[in-house]
Chains A and B, each alone.
Chain A
Amino acid sequence: MKFSIVIYTAPYSSESAATALRFAKSLIQQNHELYRVFFFGDGVHNASKLTIVAQDEINLQHQWHELIEEHDIDSVICVSSALRRGILDRTEAERHELDTASAHDSSEVAGLGQLVDAAMHSDRVVNFG
């Protein structure tokens, strides 16, 4: 079955961001197709690469990045949510003359049209948040 996942919550604040990650991993393990991951609202923080966690804790952002890279997942960060929360890819950082990008380059910064597209092309859209 073809799934898309929408994540509305920031990592560590609520369990749902971690649940979304485990759900994504399970989908892939069970040979379902993950059409798109869409980070929306506070969920954009899951795509930050400027994170450091204690050694005995899980770096959720890094785990998302690894999963997305390893399985070549189409991952989108909502642009309007991201810019106001300081989640910028290289293009946006340059456009706004800021000296660093903060988003993992495994995800693409794009608009809500990508969410509508995901709804159109997935058998299930599962929301976490």
Chain B
Amino acid sequence: MTDKIKTARPVKLGITFISRSAPYGHNRANLCLDMALASAVFEQDVSYVFLDDGIYQLLKGQNGGAIQSKTLGNALETLALYGIEDVYADQQSLRARSIDIADLLPGIQLIDHGDISKLIEGSDTVFNL
């Protein structure tokens, strides 16, 4: 990769991940996490939004061991260690599923659809999985 190509876009991108699948039925949630972590490791500016059934990834007290899986919630608790601090739960998705923010892992901020739109608009790249 030449330096010339590298300067074609800003070195630090705003990348937003929108994770909208429940944690254990399909691997989309894991794929989204892997992409977010890789982006953080490569020093991109990551925002992470949990929407629709993606909300279930944030519930406290998960035990993936019961189905021989890794516990996704444990990995999500380490996001701050990777420098991912903008972690949001969609308010409407919570309400539709009767989930209270107190049921969620610590460090999650609430966000509404208007602010999600602004976040998308302000991002260089969005991954929606």
Q: Mark B87-129 against chain A: 1 for CB-CB distance below 8 A, else 0.
A: 0000000000000000000000000000000000000110111
Inter-chain contact A119/B31, CB cutoff 8 Å: no
Give chain B nearest CB distance to A108 CB in angstroms: 14
- Which A87-125 residues sit within 8 Å CB-CB of chain B? 111-113, 115-117, 119-123, 125
Q: Mark A24-42 against chain B: 1 for CB-CB distance below 8 A, else 0.
A: 0000000000000000111
Inter-chain contact A125/B35, CB cutoff 8 Å: no
Q: Which residues of A contact B124 (CB under 8 A)?
A: 119
Inter-chain contact B15/A119, CB cutoff 8 Å: yes
Give chain A nearest CB distance to B62 CB in angstroms: 21
Inter-chain contact A112/B125, CB cutoff 8 Å: no
Measured CB to CB, the nearest residue on chain B to A6 is B127
A residues at B contact (CB < 8 Å): 2, 6, 8, 40-42, 80-81, 111-113, 115-117, 119-123, 125, 127, 129
What is the interface of chain B mostly: helix, strand, loop, or mixed? mixed
Question: How extensive is the interface on chain B, given as a class?
Answer: 20 to 34
Inter-chain contact A112/B9, CB cutoff 8 Å: no
Inter-chain contact B9/A121, CB cutoff 8 Å: yes
Given A40-B31, A113-B42, A119-B15, verify A127-B6 contact (CB < 8 Å). no
